[in-house]
Structure formats: structure tokens, C-alpha cells
Structure 1
Amino acid sequence: MESKAKTRYLAVLVLVVISVGIIAPNLGQISFWDPDEARYAECARNAIKHGHWIIPYYNGHPRIVKPPLMVWLVSISSLVVGKGKVSELTSRLPSLLAGVGTVVVTFLLALAMLTSETLAFLAAFILSTTFLFYKQARFAITDMVLLSFITLACYAFYKAITKEQRVYVWLMYTALALATMDKGPAVGLVLPGLIFLVYLWSQGSLEKLKFLFYPPAILLYLVIVLPWPLLLGKKYLKKFLWENNVLRFAGNPSWRTPFWFYMVNFPTHFTPWMAFLPMVAVAMKKAREDLGKIALPLAWFAVTFVIFSVSDTKRSSYILPLYPAAAIITAWAIGKGLEMKKELTGAWRLSLGFFVGVVMAYALGLVVMFCRYVPLFTPTATAALGLALIMATFIAFTAKLKNFQEGLLLAGASALVLALGYTAFYQPLFDRYYRSPKPYCLDIKARVGTYPLYHYGSIRAHDIFYTAKGIIPSLPRGGGPQGTFFVMTRAKKLESLRKLYPYLRVVKRYPFRDREIILMKGEGKKGEETLRDNSHL
């Protein structure tokens, strides 16, 4: 018994090291890519500087599109680690910790269901080396924190109904409450609730709902969740629940995508383990009698996939909650493949061959991206290109292996190298040569100083964060503001801006990605009239 406990502790330690090793490289060196990263960072800075802890403030206005948990986490991280300074590192630490925690809980959940340390380790390893997972774990947004609490809720739910211990019911409702405070009741409560309901129905165990319906734990959920909406009042119902939950789900034609969007999106983001989907399909057919072990992950995957497929608004990150389930199902299928080698020889060869194709495509993609955006003969780029080509050649041998265990080990090693290649090589290079808005924002900040800064056209969140100024999204009609002022705009808006304010002069042009950012300066006159809102342009 002691040796088993030591084995499990060692497995958890190794998983933590692997997860941190994949997620942490250059975490504080890469600028904010996702617009929401800069929004949460800016809200956290306002919370620390101006005390906006209950209602987050962004660019001088309340922002209640999401509950404040992520803002609180970024603020606490910045106070503890950054001594009050909000940075890329302090903003992303909550996501890193949530990602590592999700990997550990996935191991514990898989262990409880599959009763195999090896398969549980494999499930957690698959999750940690899956592209969308480690990509999102490096972003300062709500998705990874949400995933960690949903995964914890699923673990607590499973333990509660199998062990019938109240402590797990308490844990389940606490996790659901924190998930709700991260992204709202639609995905924090309703989604997990439907997963639990479908699972119990599929097992003919709906009577266990009585055990889960525990008033003291439900009261704890309400105590955690209710204060914030009560403080917001009608704004919570209109702005948050209606506009950002109901309308985004069923009334958002501008984001409408086809029902089959995730049928393509999920496999591509489950890279490189998408290669084992043929193994999953064959194992589920050949080992139907053993499907009960993965009934919860199957319900988890199916409910999440269907709900977000019928939603108008679809993004890759929205189905992140099903990735732990997919990892557990894949690990179970691989375990069946090792048990039933003769029956599943064809599936093994197909999956390993598919894996080779995935790695080759990944390596080719790196080459194409480097050729387009990165000077080819910098030492780092040359090393990264060489590594990609070496990996592609190395993994090709797995297709010829007769020993499937060796093939699986090579696949795992390749997945680890691909993940490290993305976080340690690709992201820093891509950020430096193409993606980072930081250099031009810092230059604008230095040039503008204390003068007003306006924006003509749509405002980017990273502009607000990195210039550390409240950017005014409107310009007075006519001659412009009084005194000296600056305007940021894009090259495509320059002509229309000059028609409105012909006296503006160009201070500097900044090439950025596939566009050009222009800083302009003006000396305003007195007697200007109506404000003109240009934020929609």
C-alpha cells in the first residue's frame, strides 16, 4: 500500500514538472496576444491602483461582461509576485497554476475510473501535451481557470457518488461556485450540471441526485456566488446574463458559424493526440463491455460538444472543458490497444502512421511560418528549423516499429518535444518578429507623455495596457480638442481622419503585423463642438 502511494506521489510530481516545463518557458517575456489578456491585466491594474475590486474598470468604464474572479486572481498575483506591478508574468501565473492543477486532477480522476496508475499518468500526460491545452494555459484569460474548476467539480462528483462521502459534495459545490465566479452560471453551473445529469441517467442512477442535493453545500454555493450580482442589481441581469450569456448563445448572427465547426476544430487542436482517434473508435467498438469505466468522460465530452455546437458563438477555447475527458478516453483506448494487440494491430499501425503525418505537418508548418515571418539565418531560427526537421525524421521510424509500446514511448517523447518547441522556440520568435505590440506602444507612451491620447478607429486592448493611458475613443467634431493632443489610427483610416482634421501631422509610422499604426499630433483650437464617437470604425 505504501509503495502504491509513493508511486502515485511520484507520478504527480513528474506530471507537475512536465506541465510547468511546458507552460512556463518565456511566460513573462511574450507580450499579450489575446485581446482579453490585456483587458484583464488593465482591470487588475485599476483594481490595485484605484480600488475597483467589485466592479472591474477598463479604460475608464465599468466592465461586467464576466464575473470578477479572474481580475482578482491577476491582482493578487501581481501584489504577491510583482509587488503591485501588473505584468505579463503576474497576469499569466493564475492560468499556469490552473493548468498544472487540471493535469493533477485529471490524473486523480482517471485513476479513480481506470484503476491503473499507468493509464492515469498517460491521460494526464496526453492533456499536458495537447496543443490547445498548453496554449490556453499561457494566456491570462478565464478559460484555463474555468477548466480547472470544472475538472475539479467532475472529480468531486465522481468521488461523491462512488464513495458517498459528504466531503466530496462540499468540494463539488465549491468548485462549481468558483467556476461560476470565473465565467458565469451558464458554463460554471449549467454545463457541469448537465454532464452529471446525463451521466447518472446513462447509468440508471438518477436516485443518487438525492445524495448530491445537500442544502448546506448548496447554501455555500449561493454565499460565494450571490453577493456580486446582488451588488450589480439590474446591470447583472441585462449586461451580463442577457447580453453576454443568452444572446451570445442563441442570438449572435455576427459570430454565427456552422454546426460542424467543432468537428474540424477539435481534431486540429487536439494535436498531436488526434492521431489516436482511430484507436479510440476501434477500441470503443471492440471493448463495448468496458465502456462503463469511461461513461463519465463520454457524457462530459458529448454534452460539451453538442451544447457548444448548437451555440451561435463558437471559438476554439469554448470547448476547452472537454479536453480532460478526451485525454482520459484516449488513454483508455490506448490501454485497450495494448491489451488487445492482435485484434487492434491495424488500429495501432493506422494511429502511429497518422501520428507521423501529424508531426510532419507540424514541422512543415513551423518551416513555413519561419520562412514567412522570421529571418532564416538567426541562430535561434536555424536551431528551431533543424529541430523540427530532426523530429520529423525521428518520428517517422515509429511507423516501422513492431513493438507498439516503443512506438507509444516515441509518440509521447515527440509530443513533449513539440510542446516545448512551441513554448520555448516558436512563441518567442513569433512574438519578437511579428506579433508583439509592445515596442510601438512603449514608444507612443514616451512620445505622448501627459498629453491626451485619442484613438480614431477600433481600440486594441493591448494599446491601452502598454501605453498605460486612458485612450479616449472619441474626437471632438471640427477643429479637434484644445491644446496639444495625439491620435492613434491605422493607415487605412488616415485619409478619412485627415478630411476631418486636416491640420494633424504624422509623428511616426509603426509597421505591425499586416498593418501600419500611425501616431499623429495636433494643436487644437477653442470653440469645438459635439463629441464624435469613433470606436465603432
Structure 2
Amino acid sequence: MAISEPASGKGRALELDLPQRLDRALGAASARHGRACLALVVVCLIAFLPGFFSLSPIDRDEARFAQATKQMLESGNYVDIRFHDQARHKKPVGIYWLQAAAVRAGEAVIGPSARYTIGLYRIPSLLGAIGAVLLTYWAALAFVSRRGALLAGLMMATSVLLGVEARLAKTDAVLLFTILAAFGALAHAYLRTVAARERGEAAPKGDLGLAFVFWTALAGGILIKGPMAPLFVALPMLVLAIIERSVAFLRPLKPLMGLAWCLLLALPWFVAIYYVTAGAFYEHAVGVDMLGKVTEGQEGHWGPPGTYLLAVWGTFWPAIVLVAMAAPFAWRARREPKVRFLLAFVLPTWIAFEIAATKLPHYVLPLYPALAILAVLAAERGALAKAGSKLAEVVRLWPILAIVIAAGLVGLGVWLGSGLGLLAWPLLGLAAVLTWWAALAYRRVGAPGAFLTAALGALALYVATYQILLPQMGALWVSERLATVAKAEGCPAGRIATAPYQEPSLVFLVGTDIKFMPAAMAADHLKQGGCALAFIEDRVMGPFKVRAAALGLKYRTVTTVDGFAYNGGRPVAVTVLRSEEPGS
């Protein structure tokens, strides 16, 4: 059933006014490259900055990365990577160096507290996400008009998943930046080669600029996440070489000289870490971490084939609506060089990730820009689903998903005891209205104006979520509340024990020297006297009390912090105990 129209002429005018204005603004912003880039940066800041500094460290990956970086700063060892008292042999060193540079800059401004300010560790991710949006625009220029390239960039800037990754101090936003740089360079090289062949000319000679971008980006990606960046470019290159029966399209990228440059940039740290760890880094990073994710679902992140195909409806909202409508066009035009390149970039890697056992939504994030460009290409060809067709009815997902997300967040707040989040309701209501308006407008103003209206609703939703709702949900931020108690009590991290609540965020917020130990041993810890604290979960209070009685331990209860461990999916209650033994 088609989406109904407003009954009155006045209603139609209102319906069409905002989408049409946004469509015209898109054209005006794309008149010049500088103006288009400025528009993208502004939208990125609106989308990514809410909650950026106010949200507590997120367990577990973000807190692990940030804490490992903090320990680099504390120890001065920028080769080996450690978390708490253990080696962290999983990812290469690139993201830690970037985070350390950001924190060092922060220390020059705000002093020693910078090391405990999670927002500073997130700055590389923020810059990587903004850079990825700008690179989407640059790469899209090889396929579509300047106006279309700007639209593709806006699809990435307003997507759910990139907004999440921009706020997390880990690898994926920066990895996306490096892969997109390589993707753009490869796209320009391939399409130039195809155009030359169609004109009956020889393949273009080496382009030093494109080669520099491609191989430098590849080296950066390797330092960020090892083989992931080469995987995203090698699979499409292999597919294109098979289809073309030629590798002439690589000629502009100067493969031999470029590979040498890539190795020169990336190899020194990999040699250094081999000698520093006696090969243990490779044994764990490759033999355990990487191969384990391929063969079995690590850390409970298993999923069947098709998981990403289902997840993309939420993670690439609101752009996924246009991508879905572009699918028939992609199949019909699959032999055209531009479409062939985009499909070669997306499909082999997507299938590989669907086959792998471990499933995490951000693994396929680097494929989203190609999907956005494909949707814009279909729109410029007039090949998106026509209004009134069954496929066009997917525009209903704009308001449906917005309402589901809004209702879910409010419901979560009520369940956690944080209230209804009334301050966010005007923004949540605006998001629902704008996304519904977008669905109504699609049949009259077409894809760009309708999408931009939905994107405006998405921005309202993100501000409400990250700036208002999530920071209010104190039950989620157990580590932050425990760290506040520890600070008020004035005990150093080395005199604090915790059992069995041992989230990485607690290490980051309290201090590297915090002690992880069984509950019974925490009683021995307090027996040493002086300024000593113990964080004991109620579920292990029994063993603690037995040992405390055996020792004749004198202690008092400071407070109990109740909350919800979102990683374990369970309620927690952590009691803070302070020693009343005399100092040792």
C-alpha cells in the first residue's frame, strides 16, 4: 500500500517545503569543493560531538585501548603494548600512537588530568570518522557528480554505525579512513584505465599522487589493524583482475615502488615487536586472535551467515533505505565499469565476513561508502524504485526505526531507574516527525530531498541519545561511580583491590595499579592497614567475610554501588569497604 498524501493543498505545501529546501541546499553546497567539504565537516560535528566528552569509557574494547595507551605514557615504552599487568598482543601499535599524541597535546592544555580524560583518547576516532566522510566525497567523484558525491558523504556522516565508532577510542574509525583512502585511489586508477581502454589508448602511466595515497594508506591501515586493510583492497583487486584478465589498472599505482614504500613505513615496528616479545606478539595476534575469529565466535560474538545482511538495516540507517532501492539497478548494470568496481569492492569481502564465525557490526563498516556511492549512482540514473512501487515502501523504515530506537532508549532508561528522560522528548519527537515527513515526501521530491529530511531527523535522534539519555543512565556507569568514591576516599590505586568486578573501565578511571584478586584475598589486602579499599561484589561477599573473620579484620562499609553490567547482561552491586586496621 502506498504512503498516503496529506488531504489539503496547504498540507501538501508544508510536506514539500522542507525536503525541497534541503534539496536546493544540497545543490548550493556542492557548487564548490570547499563549500561541500565545509558542509560535510559541519554535519559530522553535529552528528559526532554530542556525548563525545561526557560519556564514560565504554567496556570493554574502548577502555582496553585507552588504558593500554595510558600505560605507554606512564612507562615510556611505545613498542610493547600492555593492559594492566598483562601483555596485549592483539592489534598493532598505530592507534596507540595516535591516542598517545592526542593525550600529550591535551596534557599541554589541561595538565595531568588529561590521562584520565577519555575524550582525548577518542580524538583520533573523531578525526578518522570526519576524514572518512571527506574521503567518501573524494572517492565518489570518480563515479557521480559533485552533488551526488556530497550526498554520499552525508549518507556516511549520518549513519548509526559511524556515529558510534567516532565516539569510541579504538581502531575502526581510523581503519575506515585508511581503507577509504586506498579505495578512492584504486577507484580513480581503475576507472581511468577503463576509460583509456574504451578510447583505444594505452593504460595510463604511473600517477605518483595516487600511488602515494594508496600505499601510504595501506601502510597506515596495517599499523592500525594488521591484515584487515590489505584484505579490503586485495579481494576487489583479485576479482577485478579475474574479470578484466589484466592487472593494467594497477599501473597508475606504481606497484613495485609503492610496495617498497609501504614496507618501509610499516615494517620497522613489526620487526621491533618481534624482538621485544620474542615472537609472542605474532603467536597470539595471528595464531589466537585473528585465526580464532575466523574459525570460532570469540568472546560470545558468534553469528550465522546473513547476520550482517540483517544488521545493516540498523547500522546503516537512514541511508540503507536508498541502498535497498538501488539493488535492482546494481544487478542490471553489473557489467558497467563503475558498478562492476563497486560490486567487486563490496561482495567478496561481505561474503568473507558472513562466512567467518565471529560477527561484530563494525567489521563491514568499510564497505558502507561503496554502498552509498552505488545508491547515489542509481539515483542519478533515475533508477531508484519509483514511488508507489513495492520496493519504494522501504521508506517506511525511516520513521519506524526512529520510533523504535527512541522508544527503546526511553524504555531502557525507565528499566534502569533513570526516569523517562523528559528533556530528550522534544528531540525524539522531532526525529519521529522528520523521518515520517521524509517518507511522505519521497514520492514527490525524490531521493535527495527525502533522504536529507530523514538525515535531519537522525541528527536530532543522535543529540537526544548521546547528549541527554545515555549520560543520565547512571546504572550503566558503575566504574565511573566507583572511581568517584575512590577519589573521595583518597586512597591511591595501588591500595585498592576489586573482586570480581574487573572491567577495563575501572582500571582506566581508578589507575593502573588497582589490584585484581579473589574476594578472600581482598581481606588480606585490607588487613595490611593504612588507606586501603576493596570493591567487593555482593555475590562473593560470603568468601570475603569468612576470610575477614579468620583474620580478625577491622573494616567499615563506605557505600554500595548498584548498577547493570551491560557486557555481562546482569545487575551488579559492588560494596566499597575501607580498612580500619592501623597502618603497616
- State whether TM-score is above 0.5: yes
Choose which of 103, 119, 128 in structure 2 pairs with 1:89. 119
Residue 386 (1) aligns with residue 435 (2): no
Distance in structure 2 (CA, Å) of the matches to 1:340 and 1:214: 37
TM, length-normalised to structure 1: 0.87
Cα deviation digits, residues 475-520 of structure 1 (max 9, x gap) = 5869624512432232222234334444465432101223212223
Counterpart-to-counterpart distance in 2, 1:93 and 1:101: 12
1:98 Cα offset (Å): 0.5
Cα 1:145–1:488 shift into 2, 3 Å: same
Q: What is the DSSP-based 3-state SS (H/G/I as helix, E as strand, rest coil) of the residue aligned with 1:112?
A: coil
Which residue number in structure 1 is paired with residue 229 of structure 2? 188
Cα contact 1:348–1:404 (8 A) shared by 2:
no
* 1:148 matches 2:192: no
Match of 1:56 among 77, 81, 90: 81
Matched, 1:284 2:309: no
User: Which sits farther off after the overlay, 174-183 or 213-222?
Assistant: 213-222
User: Helix, strand or coil for the counterpart of 1:81?
Assistant: helix
Offset of residue 372 of structure 1: 3.4
Distance (whole Å) between structure 2 residues aligned to residue 500 and residue 145 of structure 1: 48
Rounded Cα–Cα distance in structure 2 between residues aligned with 1:268 and 1:5: 28
Offset from partner CA, 1:32-52 (integer Å, 9 cap, x none)? 124222222222222223202
Matches of 2:547 and 2:32 in 1, distance apart? 71
2:454 maps to 1:419? no
Task: Pick from 139, 144, 157 the counterpart of residue 109 of structure 1.
Answer: 139
Q: Give 1:497's aligned amino acid.
A: F
CA spacing shift, 1:129–1:291, aligned 2, 3 Å: farther
Deviation at 1:125, TM superposition (A): 0.5
Q: Secondary structure at the match of 1:487?
A: strand
Deviations along 1:321-369, whole A, 9 cap, x unmatched?
A: 2121222222223333xx2589665167413333333333334334433
Q: Distance in 1 between matches of 2:507 and 2:299?
A: 25
Q: C-alpha deviations, 1:148-167, integer Å up to 9, x for none?
A: 00111111122234254133
Q: Distance in 1 between matches of 2:129 and 2:379?
A: 24
1:374 & 1:253 partners in 2: Cα distance? 32
Q: Which amino acid aligns with 1:188?
A: A
Please say if residues 272 and 359 of structure 1, whose CA atoms lie closer than 8 Å, have aligned partners that are also in contact.
Answer: no
1:441 paired to 2:466: no
Cα distance in structure 2, aligned partners of 1:92 and 1:61 = 23
Worse-superposed segment, 341-350 or 250-259: 341-350
Instruction: Specify the alignment match of 1:138 in structure 2.
Output: 167
Higher mean Cα deviation, 400-409 or 306-315? Answer: 400-409
Does the CA-based 8 Å contact 1:370-1:376 persist in structure 2? Answer: yes
1:230 partner letter: V
Give me the whole-angstrom Cα distance separating, in 1, the residues matched to 2:93 and 2:214.
Answer: 21
Contact preservation (8 Å) 2:140, 2:373: yes
CA–CA distance in structure 2, aligned partners of residues 129 and 38 of structure 1: 25
Deviation at 1:211, TM superposition (A): 5.7
Q: Flag the 1:247–1:342 CA change in 2: closer, same or farther, 3 A.
A: closer
When structure 1 is superposed on structure 2, of 421-430 and 171-180 the one drifting more is 421-430
The SS at the match of 2:120 is helix
Alpha-carbon distance in 2 for matches of 1:516, 1:306: 43
From the superposition, tell whether residues 371 and 479 of structure 1 become closer, same or farther in structure 2 (CA, over 3 Å): closer
Partner of 1:332: 377
Letter matched to residue 168 of structure 1 = L
Q: Does 1:75 align with 2:100?
A: yes
In 2, the alpha carbon distance for the partners of 1:89 and 1:105 equals 24
Match of 1:313, SS? Answer: coil
Structure 1 match to 2:366: 321
2-structure distance, mates of 1:344, 1:292: 28
Structure 1's 365 and 204: CA in aligned 2 closer, same or farther, altered over 3 A? farther
**Structure 1 stretch 482-491 or stretch 241-250: which is displaced more?**
482-491
More deviation, 477-486/268-277: 477-486
Structure 1 residue aligned with 2:561: 510
C-alpha deviation, 1:454, in angstroms? 2.0
1:80 Cα offset (Å) = 1.5
**Paired amino acid for 2:340:** A
Give the Cα separation in 2 of the matches to 1:467 and 1:254. Answer: 25
Letter aligned with residue 214 of structure 2:
M
Instruction: Find out whether 1:259 has 2:299 as its counterpart.
Output: no
Classify the secondary structure of the residue corresponding to 1:507.
Answer: strand
Match among 212, 219, 222 for residue 177 of structure 1 = 219
What amino acid sits opposite 2:483 in the alignment?
A: C
Alignment-derived partner of residue 480 in structure 1: 524
Distance 1:53 1:207, change over 3 A: same
| Equivalent of 1:47 in 57, 66, 72 | 72
Unaligned runs of 5+ in 2: 1-27, 193-203, 565-570
Do the aligned partners of 1:398 and 1:407 also contact (CA within 8 Å) in 2? Answer: no
CA contact (8 A) 1:284 1:291 kept: no
Question: Hey, what does 2:262 align to over in structure 1?
Answer: 221
Question: SS at 1:346's partner residue?
Answer: coil
In structure 2, the CA distance between the partners of 1:170 and 1:342, relative to structure 1 (3 Å rule), is: closer
Q: For the structure 1 residues 157 and 278, does the alpha-carbon distance in structure 2 shift closer, same or farther, using more than 3 Å as the test?
A: closer
Distance across 2 between alignment mates of 1:342 and 1:246: 41
Q: Is the 8 A contact 1:278 1:350 kept in 2?
A: no
State how far apart, in whole Å, the 2-side matches of 1:393 and 1:108 are: 32
1:227 aligned partner, one-letter code: P
Q: Deviations over 1:55-82 (max 9, x none)?
A: 1232143323211111111111111234
1:467 partnered with 2:510: yes
Match of 1:168 among 201, 210, 213: 210
Report the CA distance shift for 1:126/1:175 in structure 2 as closer, same or farther (over 3 A): same
Tell me how far apart the structure 1 counterparts of residues 368 and 496 of structure 2 sit (CA, whole Å): 43
Change (3 A) 1:490 1:404: farther
Instruction: Output the aligned Cα RMSD.
Output: 3.0
8 Å contact from structure 1 (residues 198, 299) kept in 2? yes
Aligned length: 516
> How far apart are the structure 2 equivalents of 1:295 and 1:38?
40
Q: Amino acid of the residue matched to residue 182 of structure 2?
A: A
* 2:536 match: 489
Identify the residue that residue 577 of structure 2 maps to in structure 1: 520
Deviation at 1:463, TM superposition (A): 0.4
Distance 1:154 1:160 in 2: 10
Alpha-carbon distance between aligned partners in 1 of 2:29 and 2:433, rounded to the nearest angstrom: 38
| Paired position in structure 1 for 2:129 | 99
Secondary structure at 1:66 match in 2? coil
Tell me the secondary structure at the aligned position of residue 146 of structure 1. Answer: helix
1:346 aligns with 2:389: yes
In structure 2, C-alpha distance between the alignment counterparts of 1:519 and 1:177, rounded to whole Å: 47
C-alpha separation in 1, matches of 2:433 and 2:29: 38
Per-residue CA deviation, residues 119-144 of structure 1 (Å, 9 max, x unaligned), is: 11111111111101111111111010
User: 2:324 and 2:270 mapped to 1: Cα distance?
Assistant: 46
| Matches of 2:547 and 2:94, distance apart in 1 | 42
